[in-house]
Amino acid sequence: MRKVVAPDYTVFEHVKRHAEAVKTAIREAIIPESVTCSYPKERRKMPASFRGYLIFDPDRCISCFGCAFICPANAIRMKEAEDGRYYPTIDYGKCIFCHFCLDSCPEGALKPTKIHDVAYRDLDRMLTLTEEMIEPPEIIREDKRYVEYVIDGRDLHLRRVDGEDELLVDLPPPSKVERIVSCIDPESCTGCRICEEVCEHGVIRSSVEEDGVRMVIDSERCTGCGLCVKECSMRVLRLVRR
Amino acid sequence: MGGLLEWKVRVPDKPMKDRLYFDGLKANVIDTGLCSRCLTCACICPVDGIRVVDDKVDFPDREERCRDCGACIRVCPRFDYRPKYGMGDYLEFTAARSKRFSGQDGGMVTEIMISAIEMGMIDRGLFVGRDERWRPQVFHLHDSSQLEVGTLSGTKYTFATVLKELKKAVLLTRNGVGVVGTPCIVSGVRKLQMEFPLFRDRVRLVIGLFCTENFHYDELMRFLEKKGIKPEMLIKTDITKGRFIATMVDGEVKFKVKELEEILPSGCSVCTDFTAVESDVSVGSVGSEPGFSTVVVRGKSAEEVIAYIREKGYAEFGEGDPGQLDFLIDYKVGRFYVKTKDDKD
Amino acid sequence: MTGTVEALINLMMADQVAIPLLDPILNILYGIPLLGHLLALILWKPLFAALICPGFATLGGLLMLLPWIERKLVARIQWRIGPHEILPRMGGVIQLLADSLRFLFQEVIVHRDAKQPYFLQFPVLSFIPALLPLLFIPAGTIIAIESPYGAQIVLAMVTLFPLFILGLGWASNSRFAYIGTVREAFVYFGYEIALIVSAFAMIVLYGTSDPLAISGMQQVPGIILNPVAALAFFIASAMATSRLPFEIPEADQELAGGPHVEYSGILFGLIYVISYEKVYILSGLMTLLFLGGGSGPEIRVLGDLSGLIWFILKTLLVMIALIALRAIYPRYRLDQALRIGWNPVFTLSTIAVGVSLMEVLLL
């Protein structure tokens, strides 16, 4: 066990340290350089990959239910729209902002923003419908500056910059493990061609020949959305690594 | 991995050109009266569109939903009908009474199914139970504890939609699936297995029942009501030695089976298979003394199960008499009757 | 009867606080019989000193203000806000008023083991060495009792403070009070000599302990004449008033209050007041000895009041310096504090005496 003793300073060093302390006190008394971000007048500048609320683009959605399946908090429910397709609705009361749904969307229909401070009057409104998700959520911005934390040497400083921090970001799509569809038991295929019908990219094609149906999977175009895997009536389609 | 993956699905020629495959099935099998209501077509249909409507198999919204894949025709045992008859090949002909379960006779169907589950050969069996009104209900049997609830075993003499549950069971199973059914159901399963490897690999045990005929539920209940038999009071139904015996809470009602001919379904009248010759094991009441079930072991999987039952001593074995089946086998062959266009009704 | 009253009035009129600014009004008011007598009474220098400055009124005002300044300043240095709830618009200035009201209405719990009647008497009695020195410290030219030994008397009274703290702790008759009291006694030994010797150094320098003379002599403030003494005196007074880093007897986080732990309600209010009074007295003494107490550019119109105002300002400065120490330093251990009291500070004060002697000889 090491004995902890006070360091052995000379008198001069003592005095210097005392003077240093008093100087800091006087400086802080005059202008305290506190590192508090006085929200809402200032906003902390978040990095572009900050996980905030999501924006949804229905034109890209293929109703694969991938986001609903992967949501760890069960915050996404798919609701039927007038065109018969299912689109996600997010319950932000449950959402943990992990952005798994965004990562798992094969078409990139969900987009990130940096917005994190949306207020609701009551809990029921936190269930965000698809129509409400197309535009970024409404927030009231009172901030005139944004704030960045800078570490230089051993000190933490707050730097205030005038201007509003842009909350809508344009990020490249997340990198994913590429998966494609494959039939693991072609002999059990009934030739019902449901997979061909649900595929949005024309990966699976059928052609009628005289003694039967020829099925072709063109994996170059496959995005790994898994819709055909889900819909196959004999469950003979699987996703495999590209 | 990349590039192209191809395969070919062999589909028979369309019976009716420019119409759906199901229309062809309907014209050739259902409307001609050949349909046995085994529902093998309903099992394989990818959109689950085929169902029984008014005691007849139909695909009501086929114009919108039928995929025209032809799977229903491929698996229908009555399309391209080759009637099976006789005793069939078997490895062992015996009689047995389960020590664990009680059923119609010796409770051997239940015993074989549960033993197969215990052996790990299958992890679920499709069983037919009934509610208080004797309406048949199909359920997945995993565990013997399920049998303690309600009245499950015992012949129902009405059609049950066993094969409609088969696809779900086959897709969900890990070890294998067991099926019990009448000879038409057994034929349907065999044709499924011939056409689709998925069923070949996963349906491990097929138990066939001795069957002379089955009845539509509503028709049978109406008939029984006229005889003064209320379904809620019924404990057991039995057809034996040409008589229908309905055991009720307050007594028995018997009448000759011949009287039931007026409600005999057409699909049954063309069936010649009494002993379910295509099954892995056939079980029935004829050929053994009362209280015992006749067990005809045909396939290897059934042989293993019976060996297991013997080893564990779960059933008491006796003597089976094949000769007793001859009458009914011949009766059913003789009854083969196909309605043609010339017949007047 | 009227003769004595006349004589008294004449006595008072002779020694009035001169405020040229208010002279016209005062002259009118003097004319009014009873009010004029009252006014003359108040403006009589000794009474003025005792009542207003540096007496009760100033004391009261500073007591109201000082804890607030302390809390706000320390909070600012520590990146906090300080008192904020009561009257947030004015920064919670009347926090102390709220506190005093609370003390007034709080229940005074006198526990069974308390040494009666000392338990109740000591808080009141401890005002004696706290208030008496006020009479001897001048604010400019206003002084209550003028005596050639003023500074020494104040010093003597200051050394009496700890005895009453000890009395408080003793009368409380409880464990924490006991520990706190013992620590107070230890700390007392630590700083007392240093305090007296450094004050003594200044007295030697000035050659007199007449407070008016001292303040008159300081064309060059004492702090420049003898900075060593100033430093020693400052540290010693920090120890005397239990200011961090020497807040050892109280030590809220360790002792829950030391000698003050058993007091509640108005008694605690009195004790709370006493500790800030000590700060005032010692700051006043320091201003007197080192900063020139009351001297400064004279504001003609205010007359005597100008010295008063300068005195208050300088005292305030010293008090703030004492108080701001709280934000800078953590608390010393008892043995460290004693070591400091006897090693550096005592050495410094002895050196201070040496420096004073040298200066007297040279100048």
Contacts of C239 (CB under 8 A, 6+ apart): C187, C190, C191, C246, C337, C341, C345
- The proportion of chain B whose per-residue pLDDT surpasses 90, expressed as a percent, equals 37
**Nearest chain A Cα distance for residue C244, angstroms:** 14
Q: How many CB atoms lie within 10 A of CB B12?
A: 14
At C84-111, the pLDDT tens digits run 877 777 777 888 888 889 989 999 888 8
Tokens (6 digits) for B260: 């039931």
Tokens (6 digits) for A25: 């006190």
> Given CB atoms, is C79 within the 8 Å cutoff of chain A?
yes
More confident residue, A74 or B335: A74
Q: Which domains does chain B have, with CATH numbers?
A: 21-75 (3.30.70), 92-215+265-334 (3.40.640), 217-254 (no CATH)
At B93-114, the pLDDT tens digits run 999 998 888 777 778 898 999 9
**Distance, CA of B138 to CA of B160 (rounded, Å):** 7
Whether A126 and A51 map to the same domain: the answer is yes
Nearest CA to B32 among B84, B80, B85?
A: B80
At C308-342, the pLDDT tens digits run 888 888 899 999 988 888 888 888 888 888 888 88
Residue A118 in domain:
yes
Can you tell me the mean pLDDT for B285-304?
Answer: 90
Three-state SS string across chain B, please? CCCEEEEEEECCCCCCCCCCHHHHHHHHHHCCCCCCCCCHHHHHCCCCCCEEECCEEECCCHHHHCCCCCHHHHHCCCCCCCCCCCCCCCCEEEEEEECCCCCCCCCHHHHHHHHHHHHCCCCEEEEEEECCCCCEEEEEECCHHHHHCCCCCCCCCECCCCHHHHHHHHHHCCCCEEEEECHHHHHHHHHHHHHCHHHHHHEEEEEEECCCCCECHHHHHHHHHHCCCCHHHEEEEEEECCEEEEEECCEEEEEEHHHHHHHCCHHHHCCCCCCCCCCCEEEECCCCCCCCEEEEECCHHHHHHHHHHHHHCCEEEEECCHHHHHHHHHHHHHCCCCCCCCCCC
Residue A225 in domain:
yes
Tell me if C340 sits within 8 A of C186, measured CB to CB: no
Whether A78 and A130 map to the same domain: the answer is yes
Q: Which residues of A touch B64 (CB under 8 A)?
A: none
**Distance, CA of B98 to CA of B314 (rounded, Å):** 6
Whether A118 and A186 map to the same domain: the answer is no
pLDDT of residue B339 exceeding 60: no
Q: What was the pLDDT predicted at C211?
A: 83
Can you tell me the mean pLDDT for B145-173?
Answer: 82
Residue in A182, A185, A213 nearest the CB of B5? A182
Whether A197 and A125 map to the same domain: the answer is no
Give me the CATH number covering residue A107: 3.30.70.3270
Residue A129 in domain:
yes
Q: What was the pLDDT predicted at C212?
A: 83
pLDDT of residue A146 exceeding 80: yes
Confidence of residue A176 (pLDDT cuts 50, 70, 90): confident
Can you tell me the mean pLDDT for A213-240?
Answer: 89
Residue in A22, A25, A36 nearest the CB of C79? A36
Domain ranges of chain C: 2-42, 51-362
**Nearest chain B Cα distance for residue A65, angstroms:** 19
Can you tell me the mean pLDDT for A189-215?
Answer: 88
- Contact (CB<8Å) A190/B47: no
Q: Do chains B and A touch (3 or more CB pairs under 8 A)?
A: yes
Can you tell me the mean pLDDT for B335-340?
Answer: 64
Q: Which residues of A touch C328 (CB under 8 A)?
A: 21-22, 24-25
Across chain B, mean pLDDT equals 87
Domain that holds residue A81: 47-136
Give the DSSP per-residue string, A109-135: -EEEB-------SSGGGGEE-HHHHSS
Q: Give chain B's end-to-end CA distance (angstroms, integer).
A: 63
Q: Which residues of B touch A191 (CB under 8 A)?
A: 9, 11, 69-71
Confidence of residue B116 (pLDDT cuts 50, 70, 90): very high
Nearest CA to C126 among C87, C161, C91?
A: C161
**Distance, CA of B182 to CA of C224 (rounded, Å):** 118
Q: What was the pLDDT predicted at B191?
A: 93
Q: Which residues of B touch A188 (CB under 8 A)?
A: 196-199
- Nearest residue of chain C to residue A35 (CA atoms): C79
Instruction: Spell out the long-range contacts of C202-207 with Cβ–Cβ below 8 A and sequence spacing 24 or more.
Output: C202/C226, C202/C229, C202/C233, C202/C289, C202/C290, C202/C352, C202/C356, C203/C151, C203/C152, C204/C353, C204/C356, C204/C357, C204/C360, C205/C229, C205/C356, C205/C359, C205/C360, C207/C360
Place of tokens 């002599």: C217
Interface test with A, best of C76, C244, C335, C343 (most A CBs within 10 A): C76
- Contact (CB<8Å) B69/A235: no
Q: What was the pLDDT predicted at B282?
A: 94
**Residue B186 vs residues B97, B166, C138, C363: alpha-carbon distances, Å:** 23, 12, 120, 130
Q: Which residues of B touch A196 (CB under 8 A)?
A: none
- Ranked by mean pLDDT, which of A56-60, A148-152, C32-36, C97-101 comes out on top? A56-60
**Nearest chain C Cα distance for residue A6, angstroms:** 11
- Contact (CB<8Å) B7/A186: yes
Across chain C, mean pLDDT equals 84
Q: Give chain C's end-to-end CA distance (angstroms, integer).
A: 55
- Contact (CB<8Å) A32/C76: yes
- Contact (CB<8Å) A190/B2: no
Q: What was the pLDDT predicted at B178?
A: 94
Q: What was the pLDDT predicted at B253?
A: 85
Contacts of C352 (CB under 8 A, 6+ apart): C197, C198, C201, C202, C226, C228, C229, C232
At C236-248, the pLDDT tens digits run 998 888 877 777 7
Residue in A183, A234, A242 nearest the CB of B1? A242
Amino acid at A48: A
Q: What was the pLDDT predicted at B193?
A: 93
Can you tell me the mean pLDDT for B32-49?
Answer: 91
**Nearest chain C Cα distance for residue A159, angstroms:** 16
- Contact (CB<8Å) A35/C73: no
Q: Give chain A's end-to-end CA distance (angstroms, integer).
A: 58
Across chain A, mean pLDDT equals 88
Give me the CATH number covering residue A237: 3.30.70.20
Q: Which residues of B touch A222 (CB under 8 A)?
A: none
At B226-282, the pLDDT tens digits run 888 888 888 888 887 788 888 888 888 888 888 888 888 888 888 889 999 999 999
**Nearest chain C Cα distance for residue A8, angstroms:** 14
**Distance, CA of C195 to CA of C350 (rounded, Å):** 11
Query: Total structural domains in chain A?
Result: 2
Q: What was the pLDDT predicted at B343?
A: 56
At C103-150, the pLDDT tens digits run 899 998 888 888 888 888 888 998 888 888 888 888 877 777 888 888
pLDDT of residue B123 exceeding 70: yes
Residue A45, CB half-sphere, CA atoms under 13 Å: how many? Answer: 16
Q: What is the DSSP letter of C114?
A: S
Q: What was the pLDDT predicted at A101?
A: 93
Whether A185 and A116 map to the same domain: the answer is no
